[in-house]
Structure 1
């Protein structure tokens, strides 16, 4: 299907983990995405906001055996656009994958910057990207360069292995699920939730088996919050501006303090999530949580 640039209401890069078993490919664990914008100085160029309040840094955590990981898994990056169509009273937003790339597991063995080739279509239906499909401004030296080198479609990625991350980052990563993606700006928020959930489940295990605590606002609301990219973007900005400066004041390892702040944030969102204004809204780009 075709659409105009003005019909695009949002762009994002989505991260997921693909598992291959017996010639079958499945997306496993959770999915997250980071917002992107069309670059103002170049056509067909997407840019990511580099401010600390944004979601540009993604943490991938796994405790699985490296040999199995390299053999069975790859990380997929999908370039997703949300296209609005229909009349004013019956508008519909459709999600489309307009390109994708991959990161092999062995790329995480060292710190490096890599250029990932963008493939056309989607991971399940690949298409070739030809030069005529790219709307590039051919002016000045850029036109001269493209005439000889062609147009390259890439995603620039910086990889930092676990062993060189800050001590507090490594500490909070230990509280995450065995395999998952997390936005680095919300790492302390997610680890605090995992700590809270673990304590609750342990308290409920006294009867001989684990069960979800009845009526727990924090646990019931968390998937609704973290699976909605629009909420995550607002939450990140508030968490980084309001809470992270307090954490940085020698409270990086103070889990009770961080957990209390997490509970306050979720409790403030609870009445919004269940309000009449929020009901019936069809979320665009809903992801899948692993927590």
Structure 2
């Protein structure tokens, strides 16, 4: 029987299989040094070109190109595209390692030999034919040497155009006019160089200009000998030309100096972005990052934008457009309570779990698995960014769980019951969930945060009506929220049947959440909060009490509404900090729960008594902890720091409780003067509330 003809897609699959083998063999040769660096680099470039051609051919394929119908054609085509993209990523990383450190000196050498040839032709009209043949042979040898590509060991002398002060560890500080020996060049624009003292470090290439070094002196000597043979008129002409060239060279150097200074002003931002991409590529090449992982987008906003996207900023009062009154804080004159406000969107939801989430590979230690969530309309973040940490079981590494059943009060960092209040009128408003891991590289100790995918839940249907309260299973996408159609790594089931497709669907990464309703008391407390805020439900009553104290101080106690003097209120000045330090928020929640248990029903209904007790509990618990010298600074996903803070918090609360029992009263000021309890020196900022500074 004649051999069965193969379809276009099947031929592509065989090509991809062959390329994977070739890449694996090339990597083995590079690691074992079986090939020279130049040969490996050329082979890497050939494979890159071949893989790109195959990828272009694959993208042009359609079902009509097949000899017979193919099941799951689009899925199979995407799988091959994904394999080719992985191959190209590996080859790009390998080419960076193998790329030669400097450019070929063809242009400089050719121009140099051309100028020398012209001088020799003018001065040697009387030479015989033998001399001309010898010169031609020497020129051919020079051209061959010039055309030879540089090797890995070649070094180049460069001149520094402008002063550069190192900003990070590994940078080399240089001064203008200094000569540097460039050891290695990289595609990110930061070249490894060595100065005259032997110091090594990286320098931006925009600060460097190639210099011929010692060869310049030899060329100058040759020019002097030629000038002695020329007449006086030629000397004058050449001197004038040299002067003009020097002036032009100085102007060019000044222009380059200005350009380099302008580039340096934005270089730190560009370098940071390049560094993140390169670090991800390196970890991906190591096999430590599955495909679809990216640097965390929401974490970058939290780190680089200060308090802009933190809960401590959104809990502050918002001023109206005139800046003379408040936009979302009003007082009910009849009851003395904060006036309730309904917003366009107010939902409560529960994070259940995440399934089939790829795990980082070897060489990386995971410090935290978590979800960062915020209000999002497809283009911008519309609320604070809230973080919920997941619990992890090594027996099921691809499953993340939230809100576990445990004794005592559930820490707010683990609380998957959340609420969102948002006043945005965008028709595409929803909740963005970014799954992330905080990791540390075992080899270098470098910390970082990666996004393991993201999911989005639009809060309205196609007709604009709110979504019903039920459980939703969301697909987790790879890449960033601004990338489309990026898949996460998932197990592939062979076969095209219905059963195989069902298995394949079950193995896709998913996030399960549930929209739910709350009781009337919680709904009332939510209506007292700012118009835009996202946080855990277990802290709503504390946020509502803070809102009441804020209204009393700003709307009742101020002499006039236009008064902007500093206000003495330790509670208002420090309470927002608790939203950025969940362990202290848990300490306040525990202390206030104990105080509520000891209150009678009548005391709980007395708003004045209730507020006074809350201030006393606050001052005798978290306010004292905030300014305790033994409490380490809060640091995200740092187990030693978290354990040390937990010990100090529980020990301090027990000691303060014992002191209160001895004194017989809560919130006694004597605790701050007791030599047994150390306290940082008082500062005016911890006692005063600066309204113009903190208001939104």
- TM-score range normalised by the length of the shorter chain: 0.7 to 0.9
Kindly state the Cα deviation for residue 125 of structure 1 after the two structures are TM-superposed: 4.7
User: What CA distance in whole angstroms lies between the structure 2 residues aligned with 1:277 and 1:168?
Assistant: 38
Report Cα offsets for 1:209-261 as digits up to 9, x if no partner.
264753421112122111224444x3486268636767996988765565445
Which of residues 107, 121, 130 is equivalent to 2:489?
Answer: 130
User: What CA distance in whole angstroms lies between the structure 1 residues aligned with 2:394 and 2:457?
Assistant: 27
Which of residues 36, 52, 58 is equivalent to 2:418?
Answer: 58
Indicate the residue corresponding to 2:547 in structure 1. 194
| TM-score, L = length of structure 2 | 0.34
**SS of 1:120 mapped into structure 2:** coil
User: What CA distance in whole angstroms lies between the structure 2 residues aligned with 1:279 and 1:248?
Assistant: 37
Instruction: Report matched runs for 1:144-163 at 5 Å.
Output: 147=503, 149-160=505-516
Kindly state the Cα deviation for residue 77 of structure 1 after the two structures are TM-superposed: 1.0
Out of 39-48 and 170-179, give the one that drifted further: 39-48
Q: Which of the two has greater strand per residue?
A: 1
The 8 Å contact of residues 188 and 258 in structure 1, kept in 2 or not, is answered as no
Aligned residues: 265
Pair 1:84 & 2:437 matched: no
Instruction: Report matched runs for 1:159-178 at 5 Å.
Output: 159-160=515-516, 164-178=517-531
User: What CA distance in whole angstroms lies between the structure 1 residues aligned with 2:519 and 2:582?
Assistant: 26
Kindly state the Cα deviation for residue 83 of structure 1 after the two structures are TM-superposed: 1.7
Indicate the residue corresponding to 1:138 in structure 2. none
Indicate the residue corresponding to 2:398 in structure 1. 44
The 8 Å contact of residues 53 and 241 in structure 1, kept in 2 or not, is answered as no
The 8 Å contact of residues 180 and 290 in structure 1, kept in 2 or not, is answered as no
The 8 Å contact of residues 588 and 622 in structure 2, kept in 1 or not, is answered as no
Kindly state the Cα deviation for residue 208 of structure 1 after the two structures are TM-superposed: 3.5
Kindly state the Cα deviation for residue 173 of structure 1 after the two structures are TM-superposed: 0.9
The 8 Å contact of residues 477 and 487 in structure 2, kept in 1 or not, is answered as yes
User: What CA distance in whole angstroms lies between the structure 1 residues aligned with 2:573 and 2:627?
Assistant: 12
Instruction: Report matched runs for 1:133-282 at 5 Å.
Output: 147=503, 149-160=505-516, 164-209=517-562, 211=564, 213-232=566-585, 234-235=586-587, 238=590, 242=594, 255-256=607-608, 259-260=611-612, 262-267=614-619, 268-278=621-631, 281-282=634-635
User: What CA distance in whole angstroms lies between the structure 2 residues aligned with 1:94 and 1:170?
Assistant: 38
Kindly state the Cα deviation for residue 91 of structure 1 after the two structures are TM-superposed: 6.0
Kindly state the Cα deviation for residue 264 of structure 1 after the two structures are TM-superposed: 4.1
Report Cα offsets for 1:75-101 as digits up to 9, x if no partner.
1111122223479xx966433322211
Q: Which of the two has greater helix per residue?
A: 2
**SS of 2:436 mapped into structure 1:** strand
Q: Report the structure number with the largest CA radius of gyration.
A: 2
User: What CA distance in whole angstroms lies between the structure 2 residues aligned with 1:219 and 1:92?
Assistant: 37
Q: Closer, same or farther in 2 for the Cα pair 1:252/1:208, shift >3 Å?
A: closer
Kindly state the Cα deviation for residue 41 of structure 1 after the two structures are TM-superposed: 3.7
Report Cα offsets for 1:138-193 as digits up to 9, x if no partner.
xxxxxx89755451211111102xxx521101110111001211211111011111
**SS of 1:99 mapped into structure 2:** strand
Kindly state the Cα deviation for residue 18 of structure 1 after the two structures are TM-superposed: 1.9
Q: Closer, same or farther in 2 for the Cα pair 1:150/1:203, shift >3 Å?
A: closer
**SS of 1:178 mapped into structure 2:** coil
Task: Tell me: higher relative CO, structure 1 or 2? Use CA pairs within 8 A at least 6 residues apart.
Answer: 1
Indicate the residue corresponding to 2:387 in structure 1. 33
Pair 1:11 & 2:369 matched: yes
The 8 Å contact of residues 471 and 512 in structure 2, kept in 1 or not, is answered as yes
Quote the RMSD (CA, aligned, Å). Answer: 3.8
User: What CA distance in whole angstroms lies between the structure 1 residues aligned with 2:526 and 2:541?
Assistant: 9
**SS of 1:49 mapped into structure 2:** coil
Out of 179-188 and 240-249, give the one that drifted further: 240-249
Kindly state the Cα deviation for residue 200 of structure 1 after the two structures are TM-superposed: 0.9
Q: Closer, same or farther in 2 for the Cα pair 1:124/1:39, shift >3 Å?
A: farther
Report Cα offsets for 1:24-71 as digits up to 9, x if no partner.
x22223221222112344121101133462412001123x37xx2434
The 8 Å contact of residues 373 and 386 in structure 2, kept in 1 or not, is answered as yes
User: What CA distance in whole angstroms lies between the structure 1 residues aligned with 2:507 and 2:434?
Assistant: 20
User: What CA distance in whole angstroms lies between the structure 1 residues aligned with 2:625 and 2:580?
Assistant: 15
Indicate the residue corresponding to 2:472 in structure 1. 114
